[in-house]
């Protein structure tokens, strides 16, 4: 069963308490970090989480930064804080309607996706817009890269960017958010050769292959060669390449534990 995400909570205090409880050592010292981010004393944090006091929106925004919330997560967290601070039932009803609308929108997005085979066209446009989405999606299968901080450090990109990617992957059911951790959901998806996104997908990873030429070559294999062959041997070579692809993918499917992230590109085409 999937664990709760921020969007499953009605009470931001319960969300924070659950995050603290799931951290190593039951989150010892983390209340101090929250206090620093919110610009208040640790005692006030405890009074908020265990009583009737509430954070201000300015303090909540500081906590957003501490938790590396994505833009949507940040907006929802602020909405929960407003809901907690609301002094009239009329205002609580209005804010609750906004909370419900956000949840329904996210649910509709998940229902558009057949995660066993492929993504719907709208989600494909996001997933294949950058190599980062697929890279984060697969990197999460490696145990030591299942937090926003570890993923951001691996790819040397901002935690905010990683938070946006993780939120999208979770929204379409490709990963699962489990408190401070992110876990693999559907590790492989299918993109047909007739998809309008196939060229973008191949281009993303060919560009990464080019970038790898400037890096340490010990673990990489690169081959660029021109061949003149008979028509019958073209078919034989193509069959051999396809067989090799199938064997390589078979090895990858059975490879445990996952420890390294690699890209496997193959190019074989007529030069015209």
DSSP one-letter string for 222-265: ---------HHHHHHHHHHHHHHHHHHHHHHHH--S--------
> Between these two residues, 75 and 193, which has the higher pLDDT value?
75
Residue 271, C-beta contacts closer than 8 angstroms, at least 6 positions apart: 226
pLDDT value for 93: 95
- The contacts found for 161-167 with CB under 8 angstroms, 24 or more apart, are 161/132, 162/68, 162/136, 163/68, 163/69, 163/70, 163/73, 164/70, 164/71, 165/132, 165/133, 165/136, 166/70, 166/136, 167/70, 167/72, 167/73
Q: Write the pLDDT tens digit of every residue in 35-62.
A: 999 999 999 999 999 999 999 999 999 9
> Between these two residues, 25 and 178, which has the higher pLDDT value?
178
Q: Which two tokens stand for residue 132?
A: 């980062």
Q: Write the pLDDT tens digit of every residue in 250-261.
A: 898 888 888 889
Q: Write the pLDDT tens digit of every residue in 91-133.
A: 999 999 999 888 877 765 444 444 445 688 888 899 999 999 9
Q: Which of 77, 73, 70 minimizes the C-alpha distance to 55? A: 77
Q: Domain spans of the chain?
A: 6-111
First to last CA, the chain: 53
pLDDT value for 114: 41
pTM of the model: 0.63
Cα–Cα distance for residue pair 249/183, rounded to 1 Å: 22
Q: Which two tokens stand for residue 174?
A: 């490709």
pLDDT value for 215: 76
CB 265 within 8 A of CB 209: yes
Say whether pLDDT at 74 is over 90: yes
CB 140 within 8 A of CB 188: no
For residue 181, give the 3-state DSSP assignment: strand
> Between these two residues, 126 and 212, which has the higher pLDDT value?
126
pLDDT value for 25: 61
pLDDT value for 27: 59
């Amino acid at each position: 069963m999937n664990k709760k995400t921020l969007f499953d909570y009605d009470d931001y205090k319960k969300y924070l308490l659950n995050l603290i409880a799931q951290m190593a050592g039951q989150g010892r010292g983390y209340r101090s970090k929250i206090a620093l981010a919110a610009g208040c004393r640790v005692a006030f944090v405890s009074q908020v989480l265990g009583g009737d006091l509430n954070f201000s929106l300015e303090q909540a925004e500081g906590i957003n930064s501490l938790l590396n919330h994505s833009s949507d997560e940040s907006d929802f967290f602020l909405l929960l804080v407003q809901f907690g601070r609301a002094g009239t039932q009329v205002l609580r009803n209005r804010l609750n309607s906004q909370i419900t609308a956000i949840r329904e929108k996210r649910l509709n997005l998940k229902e558009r996706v057949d995660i066993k085979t492929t993504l719907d066209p709208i989600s494909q446009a996001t997933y294949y817009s950058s190599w980062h989405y697929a890279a984060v999606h697969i990197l999460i299968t490696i145990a030591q890269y299942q937090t926003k901080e570890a993923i951001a450090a691996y790819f040397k990109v901002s935690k905010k960017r990683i938070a946006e990617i993780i939120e999208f992957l979770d929204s379409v059911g490709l990963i699962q958010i489990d408190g401070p951790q992110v876990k693999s959901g559907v590790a492989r998806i299918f993109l047909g050769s007739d998809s309008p996104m196939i060229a973008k997908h191949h281009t993303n990873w060919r560009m990464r292959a080019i970038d790898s030429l400037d890096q340490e070559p010990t673990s990489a294999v690169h081959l660029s060669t021109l061949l003149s062959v008979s028509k019958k041997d073209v078919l034989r070579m193509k069959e051999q390449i396809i067989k090799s692809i199938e064997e390589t993918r078979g090895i990858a499917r059975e490879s445990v534990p996952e420890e390294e992230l690699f890209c496997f590109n193959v190019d074989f085409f007529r030069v015209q």
